[in-house]
Structure 1
Amino acid sequence: MNTITIDIVLDRLNTREVLRALLHSILFHRLFGTIKPQTFEILDVTMPGVSDPEMERLVEDKVAAFWKAMENGANKRGSITVTLSGKQQRKTWIGYTYEEEVPWEQWVINVEIRQPKTEPERSKFNQNLAATLTKSLTTMLTHTASEKGRAAVPPITNQDVSPFPLNISVTVGDVEVG
C-alpha cells in the first residue's frame, strides 16, 4: 500500500479552508469517474477540487469534525486520513468466498495549529503556508502521475465517481472523531 504524507502548519483563520482544499485536491486526483471540476484559491495557490454533492458533503463533514475537535480540546495536532481500497475475492478454509476491502493507497494530512502573534509573523506564516500548499500539490501530481502511483490503482470496474471504497478518518490527539 502506498502512503503519502502531507505535513502542514495552519492557524485558526485558515484551517477549514485549507483542509477543504487539500481533501478536494486528493479526491480530484483519485476519483476515476466522471467529475465536474472546481477550484479553490488559497493565498494565490489554485487547487483543484471535485464538484459533486456527495463528495462535498463528505469533505464538509470531516473538516467540521476536525475543527470541532480542535476547538473543544487542548491538543493542537491532528490528522485526516484518506484511504482508498479495492475489493478482492477471498476464500475461507471451508471453500466459501467473500469480498474483502484491501487498501491500496492512503493519504495522511498531519496538521498542527499555531497562531501568529504579530503582523510580520502572520506575513511569514502565510508565505510558508503558500509554499507548503504548492509543495503538497506537487507531491500529489508527482505521485499520481508516477509509475508507482498508476500501478497501485486496481482495475476500474464501474463508472461511479468513486469506483473504489473510500474512507476519510479524522484523528485529534490520538482519538478518532467524526
Structure 2
Amino acid sequence: MEFIINVIAERSVLRESLKGIIWTIFFNRLFGPITPVTNEFMNVSYPMANNLPDLDSLIDEKVNRILNQITEVSNQAKINVQFLSKSSNKKKTGWFGNSTYNAQDDLVVWESWLINVESLPLDQVSNGESKNVQTSIQNFANNLTRIYDIADKFKEHIPPITSLDSAPFPYKIIIPEKKSHHNRDYHTGEEGWGTYIKKILD
C-alpha cells in the first residue's frame, strides 16, 4: 500500500519540516517498546523516539542528501520510506531439496510513503514572518494530520508482529537518483548517433 505526502517548505526551514514528517511516519510504525519524546517545528509538535539514535542518524543523513539535491535549477526532490516484511511465499527448492533462494529475496514491501518535496525560495521581508514560512507551517500541520488519519484508518494491511523490537519490520529510506543532463545524447538517439559518426569520420 502506498501513500503520498507533499512537503512544501521554505528553504531555511525545509530540513526540520522534512525530518518531522519522516519521524511522524516512523513513530506510527514503531510497534515495539520506545521512549517517546516531543519535538517542535515552528511551534507545531511532532513525535520522536529517544531510544533509536541509529534511526535518527539515518533520517538526518537522508534529509541532508535531499537538501544537497535541491538547487536553484531544481527545487524539487523525492524520498520514499518503505516498510518490509517476510514474504508468505514458500521457499523454492532445487535438486535434493536444496533451497534456491536468497534470504533477502524473502522481503516484500507492505507499505510505502512517497514524499514529494518542494523547496520555496527565501522571502525578503523587513518585518514580520514571511509568507513562505507561513505556508511551510500550514503544510507541516496538514501533513501531520494526514499521517495520523492514514495510520488510524489503514491497519488491515499491517503484517503480523512477531518481534519485540522497537522497529519489528525492516525499513528503507530511498532517494531516487536524478537523471543527469549529461545522458541526454544517449537517450535522444539522433544527436547520439551524430556524435558517434563524427568520431568515426575523425
Provide TM-score, normalisation by structure 1.
0.85
Q: Indicate if the aligned counterparts of 1:116 and 1:125 stay in contact, CA closer than 8 A.
A: yes
> Which consecutive unaligned segments of at least 5 residues does structure 2 have?
181-202
Is it true that 1:138 corresponds to 2:137 in the alignment? no
Name the residue aligned to 1:12: 11
Determine the structure 1 residue equivalent to 2:85.
86
Structure 1 residue 174, shift from structure 2 partner: 4.9
CA–CA separation in structure 2 for the residues paired with 1:43 and 1:172? 30
Name the aligned partner's letter for residue 61 of structure 1: E
3-state DSSP class of the match of 2:130? helix
How far did 1:30 drift?
0.7
1:59-138 pair list within 5 angstroms: 59-70=59-70, 74-88=73-87, 89-92=89-92, 94=94, 96=99, 98=101, 99=103, 100-119=106-125, 123-138=130-145
- What is the letter of the counterpart of residue 74 of structure 2? N
Per-residue deviation at 1:97? 6.7
Q: How many residues align?
A: 171
* Higher alpha-carbon Rg: 2
Q: Does the CA-based 8 Å contact 2:10-2:133 persist in structure 1?
A: no
**Residue deviations 1:68-112 (CA, integer Å, cap 9, x gap):** 2325x7322101110001112433274647541111111111111
Alignment check: 8 A CA contact 1:70 1:172 kept: no
Structure 1 CA distance for aligned equivalents of residues 100 and 111 of structure 2: 24
2:155 match: 150
Structure 1: gaps (5+ residues):
none
In 2, are the aligned partners of 1:77 and 1:173 still within 8 Å (CA)? no
SS at match of 1:151: coil
* Structure number with higher strand proportion: 1
Distance 2:146 2:30 in 1: 17
State the AA in 2 paired with 1:107: W
Separation (CA, whole Å) in 2 of partners of 1:174 and 1:25: 30
Taking only the aligned residue pairs, the percentage that are identical comes to 29
Tell me whether 27-36 or 98-107 shows the greater mean CA deviation: 98-107
Alpha-carbon distance change, 36 to 91 in structure 1, aligned in 2, over 3 angstroms? same
1:58 aligns with 2:65: no
Q: Deviations over 1:124-161 (max 9, x none)?
A: 22222222111111111111111xx2111101111112
Q: Deviating runs (4+, > 2 A) in structure 1?
A: 68-71, 89-99, 116-124, 171-175
Compute the displacement of 1:172 (Å).
5.7
Structure 2 residue 163 is matched with structure 1 residue 164:
no
